[in-house]
Amino acid sequence: MIKKYIAVTWIIIKNSYIRDSKIGGYVLSKYINQFIEIFITVTLFNIIFANTKELAGWNYYQVLFLYFYSRTIILFDNFLFKRGINTFAKSMVRRGDYDFFLIKPINSMYLTSISSPQIYFVMTTFFYLILAAYALLHSGVVIHLVSILWFMILSVFGFALYYFLNIICVTPTFWFIRLYSLRNVINKANIFMRYPLGILPYILQFAFTILFPIAIISNIPAVTVFYPPRMLYIVYMIAITIIFGLIANAFWKFGQKHYSSASS
Amino acid sequence: MLVFFAVWKAVYTGGNITQISGYTLSNVVTYYLITNIFARADVSDQILLSDWIWFGELAKDLTKPWNVKLVQFIMFLGNILFEILMYLPFLILLFLTFHNYVVLPSITYLFYFFITVILSYLLGMSFFSIFHSFTFFYGDQSSNISLIGFLVMGLSGGVFPLDFLPTNVSWIFMHLPFRFLINTPAKVFLEKMSSGDIFRSWVEMIIWMIIFYLIFHFLFKKGLKEFTGVGQ
C-alpha cells in the first residue's frame, strides 16, 4: 500500500517538474520574492536586536534559526501540498472536480493535497535549510547529537502537524464553497511559527499550543535542538500531531459526506 | 498585528527602553495599525488593468465613448473604498484591543493625514499602472506585479518604520518615492512631521505622480497599438 502511495507521489512530482520547467520566468520571480522576504525579515531582526540582546530569552541567531526553520517547513509544505489544497478550496468543490479524486483508489484527502506540487520550492526549502544551519552554528549554543536526532524526528511530526492544520482550515469548503479566503488562514497563522512563543501573552500561548497548535511546530523542535531534550515536550508534540491527524481525517470525511458533485 | 505588537512589546520591555529613533511603544503600535490598513487595501492588488488587457476585457471599454484610463481609475477607487469598508469592523476591533497604545492625532493632523493618504494612493496607482501596461508588450504580468508589490511594501515602511533603519541605509530609502506610500502617511498620523515637511512631501508626491503618470501614459498609448483583444 505504501509502495502505491510512493509511486503515485513520484509520478505527480515528475509531472510537476515537466510543467514548472516550462515557466522559468514565473519560477524566477518566486525566487526573487523569497530573497526579498529574507532581506526584509533579517533587516527587521537586525533592528530588533540593535535595541535588545534577547527576545524572550532567545539570542539573535536563535531567533534567526527559528525563522529560517519555520520557513523551511512552510516551503516544504508549499512544495508538496499548498497548490493542491488551494485548488481544492478555490474550485474543486465548486466545479465538481473533486469527483476525479474520489473515484481513485487512494485516500482522497492525500490525493487532493499532493495533486499539484510546486517543484521549484525544493530549491528554496534547501536554501532556507542551509540558512537555518548557518544560524544554528552561530547561535553560540553547544549542540548535542541526541538533540539533533530528536530535532529531526520532531521536524517530521511538525511538518505533519502543519499539513493537518492546513487541512482543518480548508475542510469547511465542503460547506462554504465560495469562501475562498479559507486557503489563506494557514498563511496568516504561520507568522506565529516565526517568533519565540514566550513573547506572546499567555492567552495566545494557550491558543497556539493547544487549540490551534501552530506555534509548537517550530518552537518545540527549536527548543529541543538548543537545550537538552525534554521528554514532556517530545511526547506532547507527538501526541498532538496524532490527535490533529485524527481530527483532520475525521473532519475531512465528515465534510465529504456533504459533497454532492458539481451541484454542491 | 498581534505578533508585531508582542515582538515590539518584548523589545521595549526586554531592552528596558522607552524610545527607538523617537518612537515610543504606542507610536509603533499606532504605526502598525496604519500599516494594516494599507496592507489590507494594498494598492498593487486593486488595479485591474493587467487582467483586462490579458483577458481582452479592455476591448469592451475601448469601443465605448469614455476614457478607458478614467474607468480604470474609478474602479480602482471603488476597490480601495470597498476593501477599507470591509476592513473597518476589524480595524475597530484592533483599536479596541490596543486602545491603550493607540496615539490619535489632532484634527489638523487628521486632515493632513487624509490628504496624504489620498495622494499616496494616487501615487501608488500611477506607479503600478506602469507595470500593468507592460502586459500589452510582454503578456501576463501578475507574478511580476505581486513581486514588485511585495518589494514596495518593504521599501515603503510596511514592515517597520523607516526611521528605525541605520542612517546610511535609511538615506537610500528616504530618497526613493516609495516612502510616501506608507511611511509618510503613518508619520503624519503620528504627528512626527511639521506642517512645512508635510507640504513639501505633498509637492514631492505630486511631482513623482506626474512622472509615473507620464511614463504610464506613454506606455499605454504605445501598448494600445499592440492590443489585439482576447489572445493578447
Is A263 a domain residue? no
C-alpha cell at B115: 490628504
- Cβ atoms of B224 and B136 closer than 8 Å: yes
pTM score, whole prediction: 0.87
Chain-centre distance for alpha carbon A200:
20
pLDDT band at B43 (very low <50, low <70, confident <90, very high): confident
Would the CB atoms of A29 and B144 count as touching at under 8 Å? yes
pLDDT at B83: 87
Is A222 a domain residue? yes
C-alpha cell at A154: 520532531
Residue B160 contacts A where some CB pair is shorter than 8 Å = yes
Q: What is the pLDDT of residues B44-73, one digit of tens each?
A: 878 888 888 888 888 888 888 888 888 888
pLDDT band at B18 (very low <50, low <70, confident <90, very high): confident
Would the CB atoms of B3 and A194 count as touching at under 8 Å? yes
pLDDT at A187: 86
Size of interface A-B (CB pairs under 8 A): 66
Is A34 a domain residue? yes
Distances (CA, A) of B34 to A66, A189, B64, B187, B188: 28, 20, 39, 10, 11
Minimum-distance CB partner of B151 among A36, A48, A51: A36
Residue B70 contacts A where some CB pair is shorter than 8 Å = no
C-alpha A204/C-alpha B9 separation (Å) is: 15
pLDDT at A264: 47
Domain with A61 in it: 2-256
Distances (CA, A) of B41 to A178, B48, B133, B176: 21, 14, 21, 22
Is A262 a domain residue? no
Positive or negative: CA dihedral B200, B204, B205, B206: positive
Is A22 a domain residue? yes
Non-local (6+) Cβ contacts of A26 within 8 A are B143
Is A261 a domain residue? no
Give the DSSP letter of residue A104: S
Q: Please determine, for residue B129, whether its predicted confidence score (pLDDT) is greater than 90.
A: yes
Residue A47 contacts B where some CB pair is shorter than 8 Å = yes
Is A264 a domain residue? no
Domain spans in chain B, listed from the N-terminal domain onward: 43-85+105-226
B interface mutation test: which of A43, A202, A204, A208 has the most B CBs within 10 A? A43
| % of chain B with per-residue pLDDT over 70 | 99
Q: What is the pLDDT of residues B98-116, one digit of tens each?
A: 888 899 999 999 999 999 9
- Tell me the pLDDT of chain B averaged across its residues: 89
Neighboring chain A residues of B15 at a CB cutoff of 8 Å? 51-53
Q: Please determine, for residue B29, whether its predicted confidence score (pLDDT) is greater than 90.
A: yes
Q: What is the mean pLDDT of residues B83-91?
A: 88
Sequence-ordered strand ranges (E) for A96-254 = none
Is A111 a domain residue? yes
C-alpha A111/C-alpha A133 separation (Å) is: 32
Provide the domain count of chain A: 1
pLDDT tens track, chain A, 264 positions: 788 888 988 998 888 888 877 777 778 888 888 888 899 999 999 999 988 888 888 999 999 999 999 999 999 999 999 989 988 888 888 888 888 888 888 889 999 999 888 888 888 899 999 999 999 999 888 888 999 999 999 999 999 999 999 999 999 988 887 776 777 888 888 899 999 998 998 999 999 999 999 999 999 999 999 988 889 999 999 999 999 999 999 999 999 888 887 654
